Amino acid sequence: MIDSCSIEAKSLISIERALLIIKQSIAPVHEIERVVLKIARNRILSSPVYCPINIPPDKNSAMDGYAFSSSDRKPNQSFSLSQAGTSWAGKPYDNKLKKNECIRIFTGAVVPDEADSVIMQESIEKSENNIIFPANTIAGQNIREAGCDIKIKSELLTTPKKLSAIDIALLASAGIYDVPVYRKLNIAFFSTGDELTAIGNPLKAGQIYDSNRYALYGLLSNSNFNIYDLGVIADDKLLLEETLVSAANTHDVIISTGGASVGDADYIKEILEKCGTVAFWKIAIKPGKPLAFGKIKNCYFFGLPGNPVSVIATFHKIVFPALQHLAGIPIQKAIQLLAVCTSDIKKEKGRQEYQRGILTQNKPGEFHVKSAGKQGSNIMSSMSRANCYIVLPINSTGVSVGEQVVVEPFENII
């Protein structure tokens, strides 16, 4: 699937095509581990879970009140039953309920087999040890049957499934202690560039601080990933080759930023062609046109552009979907919604653009979006202000105030 010589490697391909190739080229992990519920949140369930018990396990009361048998009712008349005992939550009434008997019962407490109804405590009157039920007492109310939520042996959770806090509560309600999940991905990342200085050091002439590793550090913080920061690697062919080949032995994925285009100091392409299988792509998106995807031994490699905004956009649009697929979960499409654009936006034909926008919702509930500011792929301030991408199709030539545009809120894509 990964073919450096293909025509696609030289021409501009659509993002959909790039994702399809990625999906066909990446084999999801299959190794499984068991994790206890407290650390299972956001992990990927590897096989369906069946419920070992009925939930709830027993017929129980939905109210504080009195449990009785509807056969003791008198048609259109009030009736009186003697209170034989009490069923507390966790402490059931352990005798049989006889004819003309009722019991005091509390929410969640077991309803005796002989009873089929619970009346709420506000509806009765008491007379010594007798409980007087009104003439309109209804049969069969306020009872939660055993298994009314989930039946024993039925499917509790199905795959594919990223476990949410709610799923974990559901598993706990079935008494399940641990679950099988796909193992975590081991992901290494590094920055390249002689101009890069790690934060904490003063800048020398011509230097800039390395921000891309910090972007990746945040973007890769995920329950399904073990991440390894390999630091800044200079524009040194030998060093880059050593770093890549050695990281490929011990990781599932390597992500680099910078050095991936065609400048004199851009060595990534050359090294990958020597050490692995590589597709260099020009994806028809902006920001983030040049991107390398390939494989060194059994390790997948993503060579992202150097410009910080391009790193983030290509991570969102290409790398994260690929990691989802590798981790064993279907690629989730970003949620899109329509918003009225309140800025004029310039665009040239030719690439799908992900401009950085600020999305708001007014009182009647309409979505409005405006540009977050300058849109250069080096402009991090507007990326930081933004809360969404404004998605402009390949053939769009810009947007005027008042036109509707498609937006993708960040919260749903990260």
Binding site for Mg ion (CB under 5 A): 193, 258-259, 306
Contact call for residue 193 and ligand AMP (CB under 6 A): yes
Short-list 364, 372, 380, CA closest to 409: 372
Shortest Cβ distance from residue 360 to ligand AMP (Å)? Answer: 30
Are 240 and 267 in contact, with CB atoms under 8 Å apart?
yes
Contact call for residue 303 and ligand AMP (CB under 6 A): no
Contacts of 286 (CB under 8 A, 6+ apart): 351, 352, 353, 354, 377
Are 283 and 354 in contact, with CB atoms under 8 Å apart?
no
Residue 61 contact, options ligand AMP, Mg ion, none, Cβ 5-8 Å cut-off depending on partner type? none
Cα dihedral 28→221→16→21 (10° resolution)? -30
Residue nearest to ligand AMP (CB): 306
From CA 105, how far away is CA 133, in angstroms rounded? Answer: 15
Q: Which two tokens stand for residue 385?
A: 């202000």
Q: Which is nearer to ligand AMP, 43 or 317 (CB)?
A: 317
Among 137, 142, 307, 382, contact with ligand AMP (rule: CB under 6 A): 307
- 144 in the Ramachandran plot: left (φ > 0), alpha (ψ -120 to 50) or beta? beta
From CA 67, how far away is CA 63, in angstroms rounded? Answer: 10
Among 276, 288, 294, 305, contact with ligand AMP (rule: CB under 6 A): 305
Among 87, 261, 343, 355, contact with ligand AMP (rule: CB under 6 A): 261
Contact call for residue 195 and ligand AMP (CB under 6 A): yes
Total residues interacting with ligand AMP, rule: CB under 6 A: 18
Q: Which is nearer to ligand AMP, 117 or 307 (CB)?
A: 307
Contact call for residue 72 and ligand AMP (CB under 6 A): no
Among 87, 212, 256, 371, contact with ligand AMP (rule: CB under 6 A): 212
From CA 25, how far away is CA 218, in angstroms rounded? Answer: 26
Contact call for residue 211 and ligand AMP (CB under 6 A): yes
Shortest Cβ distance from residue 242 to ligand AMP (Å)? Answer: 19
Shortest Cβ distance from residue 12 to Mg ion (Å)? Answer: 22
Shortest Cβ distance from residue 260 to ligand AMP (Å)? Answer: 6
List the Cα angle 51/57/60 in 5-degree steps. Answer: 145
Among 61, 87, 117, 191, contact with ligand AMP (rule: CB under 6 A): 191
Shortest Cβ distance from residue 237 to Mg ion (Å)? Answer: 13
Residue 307 contact, options Mg ion, ligand AMP, none, Cβ 5-8 Å cut-off depending on partner type? ligand AMP
Contact call for residue 355 and ligand AMP (CB under 6 A): no
Which span sits near ligand AMP by CB under 6 A: 14-22, 119-127, 203-211, 349-357? 203-211
Shortest Cβ distance from residue 149 to ligand AMP (Å)? Answer: 51
- The structure tokens 């329950």 sit at 223
| Positive or negative torsion for Cα 40, 44, 50, 55 | positive
Contact call for residue 92 and ligand AMP (CB under 6 A): no
Are 307 and 215 in contact, with CB atoms under 8 Å apart?
no
Residue 328 contact, options ligand AMP, Mg ion, none, Cβ 5-8 Å cut-off depending on partner type? none
Contact call for residue 376 and ligand AMP (CB under 6 A): no
3-state helix, strand, coil in the chain (%, to 5): 20, 35, 45
Q: In 10 A of CB 237, how many CB atoms?
A: 14
- Provide the 3-class DSSP secondary structure of residue 322: helix
Question: What is the end-to-end Cα distance of the chain in Å, rounded?
Answer: 27
Residue 261 contact, options ligand AMP, Mg ion, none, Cβ 5-8 Å cut-off depending on partner type? ligand AMP
Return residues touching ligand AMP (CB under 6 A).
Answer: 191, 193, 195-196, 208, 210-212, 257-261, 263, 305-308
